[in-house]
Structure 1
Amino acid sequence: MAQGRSCVHPQCSTHSRLYWTWIRGTRLVFSMNPAPRRTPIILYLHGGPGDACIPLTMRYNAALERDFRFINLDQRGSGLSYHPFAPGEAVTIDSMVEDVHQFVLKLLRAYEQDSLILIGHSWGSVLGLEMVKRYPSLVRCYIGLGQVVSMRAALRLRRHWGQRNLGPRLGSVVSRESGTADMVLMINELLSRGGAAMLFGSLRRIMTYLRSPYYNWSRLLNHAKGVAQSRARLDAELEQVDFSRQTSFGAPVYFISGKYDRHLPGTLVERFADGLKSPHRFIRFDRSGHCPQWDEPERFTATVKAICL
């Protein structure tokens, strides 16, 4: 693993640095804070597909660095790991899970540990829960944020909710995975949670990228390209994802859902959790939308510590 530079911008309270490594022929960038070798490892899997977020976890989740080695991986073709996908390059859920699997094995070898903590957000929750299904011995516990359970069921709920609250035209828009749907749902979440004040908070997140020492205009453009190419390759497969028949996992699973999450309604996640026979817990954040880790960062930090320490 090769080291990059540390964050020296005054906005950052993080001690994380950028690193990169080769995984299955692709150079992947990740952030990581310095910590003693046996410190518990958290691996954060971002949403999207393609919506890499190292500047956001550096800003909002740096408090976790006090107790954990916190690692945020920019996935294949995304964010600081951006490269244009080759026509024959395998970009599927299976291939992305295998990237994560190989990265996890590297981390565990490097830090002489048997397992780590996985946190998956939205699209990243698909990769995270697949990791728990396929490689439970490598996962100490799993935390899903805005968890995908059944995309078809979520899209049906979004369509019904949208037609009732937004009208037929926008109801149709939010019933499919797209960047436009994400924007419509995010705006509604912000208005539901407090209007102008919440909108200002969302703009602060955008400014976090603009002020990051790791992003310039060229890299911001690459970030947008990474989102576009990842969605083009993965959205159709994502819409078929369905964990609803799964009744147990080989590692403890925890689900954190925002009360105002319009993207992936918490009712589906809570029902799924209630049907699990293995160790689990469902937690609702009452002041959050689709991103509880950034909507309520202090509560998120306290919750992760309570679960994992």
Structure 2
Amino acid sequence: MWIRKTPYKKNKDQGIITLKKVTIGKIDQWIMIRGTDRSNPILLFLHGGPGAAQIGFARPFQSTLEEHFIVVNWDQRGAGLSYSKHLTATSMTINQFVSDLLEVVQWLRQELKHEKVYLVGHSWGSIIGMLAVQKRPEWFYAYFGVGQVADINKGDFISYEYTLRCAKVSQNKKAILELQAIGEPPWNNIKHERIHQKWLKKFGGYYKQKNLVAKFSKYMLLNSEYRLIDLFKHIKGQQFSMSHIHDEMSAVNLTEQVTEVQVPVFFCIGRHDYLTPYELAEEYYKILKAPQKSYIWFEHSAHSPHFEESEKFNEFLIKHAVYD
């Protein structure tokens, strides 16, 4: 029988390589832990979405990090391996995700015998990441925001205007018609948001690298962490998560909710990001109070610089988290 596993690499005895199911928030959730040395600091990734689980494709982008960190990927509640048809809609709240995150951190601290972790929050993950470090700063060395969310409603409006402008400049009649048909945000219909994102991807404001989605698909098909049925769970999880968190997430405005944290903050922003528009991340960075702040541009990326420019991103993490 084929089972889920994550492959070993060198320093097997000194390091840690595991893919396991852990009870978090009273349900089964999956965590992948990889590192060549147990004494290295913990680096926890929070995937985007909601529902865009990354255990199935993240490993090839993170192999260098495993030499310097204990790298942790977590398929969140309702996403990827952690999706279950038995999950209730009422459990899919931002507060519950923050609670789950803090429980994961507490479990890692106890399991791996480390006092603190480094946290990377991508997109949706940057919402629960900022809320978590605000709540329990003593558990975190630092926070890295990738595709950092600021004000969802304002960001959606800027993103829509950008996408429609691109459609007009390129004289893409189909894009113009579809975007004008859904109108300006806020959108009460998730289908409208999907139409917007479809054209945002077309015009390079979602992913700058055109082959990135193909890479994700290839890794998902060839990895050993997911079985065939898990590919369907991944799709179901994205649909389930977004449908139940969309309305609450639409009201998020971190520029009012989280204006100060007690941990160092690093914003890693794609120059072409118009899903969570880069100018809002820049404005948020300026008002956010933290003991240490740094902002780095990724010139050849849009919303996912940790995948689009993974080498530069990994070097930045290693430099600022390990050797600072």
Q: Are 2:179 and 1:170 equivalent residues in the alignment?
A: yes
Native 8 Å contact 1:174 1:185 kept in 2: no
The superposition leaves residues 90-121 of structure 1 with CA deviations (integer Å, 9 ceiling, x where unpaired) of: 11000011011111111111222221100011
Identity %: 26
Q: Are 2:306 and 1:293 equivalent residues in the alignment?
A: yes
Cα distance in 2 for residues equivalent to 1:274 and 1:65 = 32
- Say which SS state the counterpart of residue 254 (structure 2) adopts: coil
Cα distance in 1 for residues equivalent to 2:97 and 2:259 = 24
List gaps (5 residues or longer) in structure 1: 10-14
Cα distance in 1 for residues equivalent to 2:141 and 2:259 = 19
Native 8 Å contact 2:206 2:275 kept in 1: no
Of 259, 262, 268, the residue aligned with 1:247 is: 259
Cα distance in 2 for residues equivalent to 1:138 and 1:152 = 30
- Say which SS state the counterpart of residue 39 (structure 1) adopts: coil
Counterpart in 1 of 2:5?
5
Cα distance in 2 for residues equivalent to 1:275 and 1:285 = 21
* Amino acid in the other structure paired with 2:232: L
The superposition leaves residues 150-187 of structure 1 with CA deviations (integer Å, 9 ceiling, x where unpaired) of: 10110111122223222363264784463443332222
Native 8 Å contact 1:190 1:199 kept in 2: no
Counterpart in 2 of 1:135?
136
Cα distance in 1 for residues equivalent to 2:54 and 2:206 = 23
Cα distance in 2 for residues equivalent to 1:130 and 1:5 = 32
Of 261, 277, 281, the residue aligned with 2:289 is: 277
Counterpart in 2 of 1:12?
none
Shift of 1:8: 7.0
Change (3 A) 1:128 1:174: farther
Q: TM-score, normalised on structure 1? A: 0.89
Of 185, 193, 202, the residue aligned with 2:200 is: 185
The superposition leaves residues 207-233 of structure 1 with CA deviations (integer Å, 9 ceiling, x where unpaired) of: 111111223332111111100110011
Cα distance in 1 for residues equivalent to 2:103 and 2:137 = 14
Q: TM-score, normalised on structure 2? A: 0.85
Native 8 Å contact 2:269 2:305 kept in 1: yes
* Amino acid in the other structure paired with 2:296: I
Cα distance in 2 for residues equivalent to 1:252 and 1:84 = 38
Matches within 5 A, 1:101-250: 101-166=102-167, 167=176, 169-170=178-179, 172=182, 175=185, 176=187, 178-189=193-204, 193=208, 198-245=209-256, 246-250=258-262
- Say which SS state the counterpart of residue 5 (structure 2) adopts: strand
Change (3 A) 1:35 1:291: same
Cα distance in 1 for residues equivalent to 2:308 and 2:123 = 15
Change (3 A) 1:174 1:303: farther
Equivalenced residue count is 299
Counterpart in 1 of 2:270?
258
Native 8 Å contact 1:173 1:180 kept in 2: no
Native 8 Å contact 1:173 1:181 kept in 2: no
List gaps (5 residues or longer) in structure 2: 10-15, 168-175
Shift of 1:59: 1.0
Change (3 A) 1:16 1:285: farther
Shift of 1:55: 2.9
Shift of 1:4: 6.0
Native 8 Å contact 2:6 2:19 kept in 1: yes
